[in-house]
């Protein structure tokens, strides 16, 4: 039998919140138990490995990793823990260690309280896998309890995140309540003010950087690389504003006094990886703290922001950007600059994305010419609007009413079409089973049907996202916008957005303008 002096021992100690803060599992108590065991058995301790505050559901722990390295270089050949749960609570990983890794590396493992010793043939070793499963179930149970507690607090409107959103700080008298950080809030107000003027994310980010306004990351002491523009470097303590930061601030409902939580969730209790929840699963509680931005201003800004989240932020400014839509498929019309010609052109975004399926058409137009035609048309309508006698003529070919009914009918038709296609797909599958058609024919038919279903789903999603807001502005306000619009030689984006909801461009070059005001005749 091998003597105890021949073993070079590594003592492994671990504690985390997963363990329920039990006093008997503290670092001090574990160390005392292990040292007493070493003293009674006269083992040679080489090193002690302590992971304080690290979960046992995975093995991403610094001391554990150091211990594994020491095993592989032959520094230690024996590991002792208080019990198996200290080694790990993931029954698969723990089992791999005890059943495969330790034996392959000639490592003796002892879990004192569980009576496990891999160098001794006893019944406790045989039931080790079951103990590992129980330890895993304990971690899962704790995870469920923590998740349930957090969910309950979120539903009560308590702010449970560790970091405060930019513009707020935690109430010193209540860590689950937000109060305004005046310095940061002034920046949030500036961002919304710039957005109200119709400026793009990119423009706002550049403006904030130019004014040397500290970024949220700078407040949180993130380390960013310096960025130099025009031979002058932006100081690292201020940081560089980026489009995504501006976008997240402008879309954050927290600034109107509502707490929005539950945006993400972990895949499971063993992994740190998180996935995004659907917006319908967000936990939103209104009026939980003092707002920085008024609700009506926030809603107005949302109407100005691009609705297509996949749309890349453009660095070039276009007066009609975000207002143009395809009159044939109702998807967004994008504006693209061509370096070769030095001109900008419009393209149906749906056609560009799914051109291989031959959906819609290009809708290519010279943007500068298109803008000139549209502005002239808007000016004509606005002039006639102020002249009561000419209203009927001015509105004859212009659609002013919202399209909610039309969109609803389109959605219903697309849903019915997809139901028919799904049934057709099922029928073709049954035909293959009955050997009416062969597998190759079925694959060809099914691929065609599936592609059509995907395209219809894209249309449905787009129509749902693009349904109009039926809130129309009062005539007096409209008159103010129109007068201001007509008084300027060059239009501003802010005014156009207040006057126009959408502009539909058709392949045959027809233009339909949907205004924000109703027919007043």
Distance in angstroms (rounded) separating the CA atoms of residues 31 and 131: 22
Q: Per-residue confidence at 179, pLDDT binned at 50, 70, 90?
A: very high
Distance in angstroms (rounded) separating the CA atoms of residues 123 and 70: 30
| Structure confidence at residue 167 (pLDDT) | 92
Percent of the chain scoring above 70 in pLDDT: 76
pLDDT in tens, 156-165: 878 877 788 8
How much is the average pLDDT of 421-429?
81
How much is the average pLDDT of 217-222?
71
Ranking 77-86, 286-295, 305-314, 337-346 by mean pLDDT, the lowest is 305-314
- Tokens at 463, concatenated: 């129509």
Distance in angstroms (rounded) separating the CA atoms of residues 155 and 177: 14
Q: Decide which of 336 and 71 is more confident.
A: 71
Residue where the block lists tokens 């495969």: 100
DSSP 409-428: HHHHHHHHHHHHHHHHHHHH
How much is the average pLDDT of 129-133?
65
Ranking 31-40, 179-188, 278-287 by mean pLDDT, the lowest is 278-287
pLDDT in tens, 85-121: 889 888 788 888 988 899 999 999 999 988 889 888 7
Q: Across-strand partners of 174?
A: 171
pTM over 0.95: no
Distance in angstroms (rounded) separating the CA atoms of residues 446 and 145: 45
Residue where the block lists tokens 């400014």: 317
Distance in angstroms (rounded) separating the CA atoms of residues 215 and 184: 9
In terms of average pLDDT, the best of 130-144, 331-345, 387-401 is 331-345
The answer to whether 119 and 4 have CB atoms below 8 angstroms apart is: no
| Structure confidence at residue 331 (pLDDT) | 81
Query: In terms of C-beta density within 10 A (0-12 exposed, 13-18 middle, 19 or more buried), how is residue 379 classed?
Result: middle
């Amino acid at each position: 039998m091998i003597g105890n002096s021949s073993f070079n021992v590594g003592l492994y100690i671990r504690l985390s919140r997963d363990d329920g803060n039990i006093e008997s599992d503290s670092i001090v108590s574990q160390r005392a138990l292990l040292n007493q065991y070493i003293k009674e058995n006269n083992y040679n301790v080489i090193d002690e490995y302590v992971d304080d505050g690290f979960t046992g559901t995975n093995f991403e722990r610094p001391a554990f990793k150091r211990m594994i390295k020491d095993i592989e270089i032959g520094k230690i050949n024996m590991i002792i823990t208080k019990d198996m749960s200290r080694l790990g609570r993931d029954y698969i990983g723990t089992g791999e260690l005890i059943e495969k890794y330790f034996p392959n590396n000639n490592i003796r493992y002892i879990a004192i309280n569980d009576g496990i010793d891999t160098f001794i043939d006893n019944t406790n070793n045989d039931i080790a896998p079951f103990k590992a499963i129980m330890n895993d179930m304990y971690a899962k149970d704790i995870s469920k309890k923590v998740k349930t507690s957090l969910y309950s607090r979120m539903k009560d409107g308590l702010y449970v995140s560790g970091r405060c959103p930019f513009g707020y700080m935690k109430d010193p008298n209540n860590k689950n309540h937000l109060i305004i950080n005046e310095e940061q809030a002034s920046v949030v107000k500036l961002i919304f003010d710039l957005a109200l003027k119709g400026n793009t994310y990119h423009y706002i980010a550049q403006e904030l950087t130019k004014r040397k306004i500290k970024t949220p990351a700078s407040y949180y002491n993130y380390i960013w690389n310096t960025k130099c523009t025009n031979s002058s470097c932006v100081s690292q303590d201020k940081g560089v504003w980026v489009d995504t930061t501006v976008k997240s601030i402008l879309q954050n409902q927290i600034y109107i006094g509502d707490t929005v939580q539950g945006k993400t969730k972990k895949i499971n209790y063993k992994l740190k990886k998180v996935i995004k929840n659907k917006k319908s699963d967000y936990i939103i509680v209104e009026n939980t703290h003092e707002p920085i931005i008024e609700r009506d201003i926030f809603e107005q800004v949302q109407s100005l922001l691009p609705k297509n989240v996949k749309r890349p932020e453009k660095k070039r400014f276009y007066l009609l950007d975000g207002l143009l839509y395809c009159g044939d498929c109702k998807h967004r019309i994008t504006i693209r600059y061509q370096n070769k010609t030095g001109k900008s052109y419009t393209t149906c975004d749906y056609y560009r994305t799914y051109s291989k399926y031959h959906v819609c058409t290009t809708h290519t137009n010279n943007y500068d010419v298109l803008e000139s035609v549209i502005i002239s048309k808007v000016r004509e309508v606005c002039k006639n609007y102020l002249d009561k006698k000419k209203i009927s003529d001015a509105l004859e070919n212009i659609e002013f009413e919202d399209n909610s009914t039309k969109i609803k009918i389109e959605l219903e038709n697309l849903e019915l079409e997809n139901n028919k296609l799904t049934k057709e797909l099922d029928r073709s599958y049954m035909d293959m089973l009955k050997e009416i058609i062969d597998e190759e024919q079925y694959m060809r038919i099914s691929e065609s049907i599936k592609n059509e279903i995907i395209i219809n789903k894209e249309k449905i999603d787009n129509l749902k996202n693009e349904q109009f807001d039926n809130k129309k502005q009062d005539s007096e306000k409209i008159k103010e916008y129109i007068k201001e619009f007509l008084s300027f030689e060059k239009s501003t984006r802010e005014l156009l957005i207040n006057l126009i909801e959408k502009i539909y461009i058709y392949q045959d070059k027809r233009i339909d303008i949907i205004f924000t005001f109703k027919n007043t005749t």
